[in-house]
Amino acid sequence: MIIAREKRKQNIVEYLLYMFQVEDTIRACKFNMDLLEEKVFTQYKVSGSKQQEIRDWYADMMVMMHEENTRYVGHISLLTGLIKELNDLHKRLLLNDPGSAYADQYRLAKPNIISFEQKLGRQSVNEVDTCLNALYALLLLKLQRKEVSADTLEAMQTFSKLLAMLAEAFKRVEEGTSEA
C-alpha cells in the first residue's frame, strides 16, 4: 500500500507492474492473511498503526479479487480500467502527432508487440496490455533467475521505452499540464 501509493503518484506503469505482483503474491499465499503477514507484512518497518493499514489494504485487495472473479487469474477492474485509460492515451498520442518521438518508439515496438501476441497464441486486450504483460513476464523470469535471450531483452527494451514515454505523458495529463 505504501509502495503502491508512491508508485501511483510517480509512474503509472511501475504502479501497474507492482500491482500485478501484489495480485500474484496474494494468490501465491492462497489468500491467507497469516501467510501474507509472514511473507510480506514483516518486510515493512513501520509502526503498528501503519502495519494495520497495510493489512487492511491487502484485505481489501483480497475482497476485490474475490468479488471480481480474479482469484486465480486476471486483474481487478481498477487495474484493467487504468490499462484501458493508458491505451486510450496511447492511441491519442499516435493520432495527434504521428511524427513524434512517441510514434517513432511505437514503430520500433510494434513488430515486437505482434510477435509477443503470436507467442501467447492470442491477441491481448490492447497494445498497452501486451507491453505490460511482456514486461511482467520478463520480471518473473528474472526473479526465477531464468535465462533470457538477447533478442527477447532487445524486444522488451522497446516496450520499456514506449511505456516510459506513455507514463510521462499520463503523468502530465493527470497534473493538467497536457491534454494529449
Side-chain half-sphere CA neighbours of 24 within 13 A: 11
Q: Where are the domains of the chain?
A: 2-67, 82-175
Burial of 21 (0-12, 13-18, 19+ CB in 10 A): middle
Alpha carbons 45 and 122: distance in angstroms, whole number: 42
For residue range 52-109, what is the model confidence (pLDDT) as tens digits? 898 999 999 999 999 999 999 999 999 999 999 999 999 999 999 999 999 999 999 9
For residue range 132-141, what is the model confidence (pLDDT) as tens digits? 999 999 999 9
Alpha carbon distances (Å) from 44 to 9, 36, 51, 84, 128: 20, 12, 8, 31, 31
Grid coordinates 484485505 are at which residue? 59
pTM of the predicted protein model: 0.93
